[in-house]
């Protein structure tokens, strides 16, 4: 648990929620901090008018407005206000004119104590006759709610949807994964392998599910897997693990930012304790500090167990920054943003290539000369030279990957196993290296510096996705590194296959044979 600063308390208020009602005025607070128990409501003040609890009604999202004294009186130990939930305040007061109004809510909550939210919001009377997607506040994953959206989509577009509406799981399992659920996109899954992985966490033969609509992709990865298996498999090693959130603190000048950075370094133990108080899983490893102009960028680096952890580290960093804002007594912090774009979430970046985001994993193998010649129609010398030429092309283009197509295998596995597919933007970064050995075989290695994967949370528990993870034996505690090693091994197989196809001029003919759909 952490102490929220006044700057962060403002975030409880839902901007744009202030509006007139038939009986008065209403607005919303959303708990964006941590689960608490509200023990007392003192007053709400709008402008110069103070509204006491007997004139305030509370709606906890079920459409029922109950008097505040009645609600709080029925919970002698305090009313639970879970993180992520909202309360709509209904005030029995004259309607507000259009314009900007100061809003203050004063209350007490355990374990924080007395809190005051002070913001400005505006009343804007605009006509609202736009068509709206149907939803139900009570149960938006019920069959009635889903069918209402399906009918709306067909009426709005003038089209009939047959396949979109067919699915085989309880839609309630999607809560927290998909809003306005209407149907499913059926993506073909092909199997490649089994791939022999010689990892520290993944050991054995693994059947690889690949969800794709690209012809030749599964065949290409399967070809690379067969070649690796003939040479004993692929050796995979996780060499780094970190998930980031990167807040920024704004000062009046560079000196203020510099002094703040020194204070953060001195207080990193206390900051870490605050961050870790929000989670049993997240562990703060270190904080990188970067200074530019009058800005102090802090890059918090965590381990996050089997989860990818973006939300987890966001919450932990939010707690740490709240403590910082409350306890730093140096130059005033003029602005604070929880994310500065320096964690480069969902974006390729050089810092993640250098410093790791997610899992840093290496896949390597020695491919025998005769296997390359017989199965791939190339020699080790051809592939090694081709790699040198490709390095120049990657350098000239500014690409974050000097390999062939790691995003193909990663994306196909991500879709199949319920990963956040947008993380392919970071996860597709790769550093490939090849050399001809003294025995005239080919050593091939791929480093993936920012592979963001999970075997818990997100979409990994959904029906089809969980089945694919079970296919890989990657369900349960302590399986995320195993999954990372398997993904890296698949990537190396794809690099070997495509590089060989390009070097041997089989690339176009293979696509014409297996991938032509026109």
Question: Per-residue pLDDT tens for 435-457?
Answer: 999 999 999 999 999 999 999 99
Residue 192 above 90 pLDDT? Answer: yes
Phi, psi (degrees; rounded to nearest 5) at 39: -105, -20
Is the model's pLDDT at 306 over the cut of 80? yes
The active-site residue, picked from 420, 426, 441, 485, is 420
pLDDT digits (tens, 9 = 90+) for 158-169: 999 999 999 999
Which tens digit of pLDDT belongs to each residue from 194-231?
A: 999 999 999 999 999 999 999 999 999 999 999 999 99
Q: Which of 118, 214, 288, 467 is catalytic?
A: 214
Instruction: Find out whether 247 and 321 touch, Cβ atoms under 8 Å.
Output: yes
The class of domain 247-337 in CATH terms is alpha beta
- Which token pair is 444? 């091939």
Closest CA to 68 of 92, 84, 50, 35: 92
Q: Phi first, then psi: give them for residue 81, nearest 5 degrees.
A: -125, 90
How would you write 290-332 as a 3-class SS string? Answer: EEECCEEEEEEEEECCCCCCHHHHHHHHHHHHHHHHHHCCCCC
- What's the confidence (pLDDT) of residue 130? 82
The CATH topology of domain 6-123 is: Immunoglobulin-like (2.60.40)
Choose the weakest-confidence range: 13-22, 146-155, 322-331, 509-518.
509-518
* pLDDT of res. 288: 94
The pTM score is 0.84
Fold category of 190-241+352-515 in CATH: 3.90.770
Region 429-433: what's the mean pLDDT? 95
Q: Greater confidence, 491 or 319? A: 491
Whether 102 has a pLDDT exceeding 50, the answer reads yes
What confidence tens digit (pLDDT) does each residue in 365-394 have? Answer: 999 999 999 999 999 999 999 999 999 999
pLDDT of residue 508: 46
Cα maximum dimension of the chain: 88
Position 71 scores a pLDDT of 87
What local confidence, expressed as pLDDT, does residue 147 receive? 94
Q: Is 143 labeled as catalytic in the residue annotation?
A: no
Quickly state the pLDDT bin for 84 (edges 50, 70, 90).
Answer: confident
Is 214 designated active site? Answer: yes
CB contact at 8 A, 339 and 247: yes
| Domain regions of the chain by residue span | 6-123, 131-179, 190-241+352-515, 247-337
Contact 273, 3 (CB under 8 A): no
> In whole angstroms, how far apart are CA 265 and each of 10, 247, 270, 290, 354?
27, 15, 10, 12, 22
Average pLDDT in the 342-346 region? 89
User: Catalytic pick from 259, 326, 339, 511?
Assistant: 511
């Amino acid at each position: 648990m952490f102490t929220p600063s006044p700057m962060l308390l403002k975030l409880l208020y839902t901007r744009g929620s202030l509006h007139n009602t038939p009986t008065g005025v209403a607005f919303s607070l959303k708990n964006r901090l941590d689960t608490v128990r509200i023990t007392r409501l003192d007053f709400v003040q709008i402008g110069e008018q103070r509204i006491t609890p007997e004139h305030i009604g509370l709606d906890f999202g079920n459409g029922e407005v109950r008097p505040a004294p009645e609600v709080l009186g029925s919970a002698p130990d305090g009313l639970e206000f879970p993180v992520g939930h909202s309360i709509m305040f209904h005030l029995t007061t004259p309607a507000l004119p259009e314009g900007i109004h100061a809003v203050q809510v004063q209350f007490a909550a355990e374990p924080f104590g007395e809190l005051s939210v002070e913001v400005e919001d505006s009343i804007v009377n605009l006509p609202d006759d736009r068509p709206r997607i149907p939803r139900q506040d009570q149960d938006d994953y019920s069959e009635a709610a889903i069918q209402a959206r399906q009918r709306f989509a067909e009426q709005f577009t003038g089209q009939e949807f047959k396949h979109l509406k067919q699915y085989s799981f309880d839609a309630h399992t999607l809560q927290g994964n998909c809003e306005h659920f209407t149907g499913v996109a059926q993506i073909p899954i092909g199997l490649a392998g089994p791939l022999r992985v010689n990892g520290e966490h993944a050991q054995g033969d693994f059947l690889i599910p690949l969800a794709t609509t690209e012809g030749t992709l599964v065949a290409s990865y399967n070809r690379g897997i067969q070649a690796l298996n003939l040479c004993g498999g692929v050796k995979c090693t996780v060499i780094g693990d970190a998930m980031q959130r990167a807040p920024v603190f704004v000062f009046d000048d560079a000196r203020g930012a510099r002094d703040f950075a020194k204070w953060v370094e001195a207080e990193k133990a206390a900051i870490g304790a605050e961050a870790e108080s929000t989670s049993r899983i997240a562990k703060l490893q270190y904080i990188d500090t970067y200074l530019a102009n009058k800005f102090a960028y802090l890059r918090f680096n965590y381990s996050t167990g089997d989860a990818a952890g973006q939300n987890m580290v966001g919450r932990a960093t939010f707690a740490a920054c709240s403590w910082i804002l409350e306890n730093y007594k140096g130059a005033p912090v003029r602005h604070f943003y929880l994310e500065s774009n320096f964690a480069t979430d969902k974006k390729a970046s050089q810092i993640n290539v250098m410093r790791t985001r997610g899992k840093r994993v290496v896949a390597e193998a020695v491919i025998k000369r005769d296997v390359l010649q017989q199965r791939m129609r190339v020699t080790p010398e051809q592939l090694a030279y081709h790699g040198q030429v490709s390095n120049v092309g990657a350098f000239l283009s500014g690409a974050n990957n000097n390999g062939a197509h790691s995003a193909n295998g990663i994306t196909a596995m991500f879709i199949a196993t319920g990963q956040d597919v947008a993380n392919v933007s970071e996860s597709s970064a790769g550093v490939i290296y090849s050399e001809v050995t003294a025995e005239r075989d080919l050593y091939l290695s791929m480093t993936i510096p920012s592979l963001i994967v999970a075997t818990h949370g997100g979409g990994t528990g959904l029906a089809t996705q969980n089945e694919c993870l079970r296919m890989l034996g990657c369900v349960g505690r302590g399986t995320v590194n195993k999954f990372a090693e398997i993904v890296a091994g698949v990537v190396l197989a794809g690099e070997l296959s495509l590089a060989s196809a390009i070097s041997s001029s089989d690339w176009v003919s293979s696509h014409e044979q297996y991938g032509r759909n026109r």
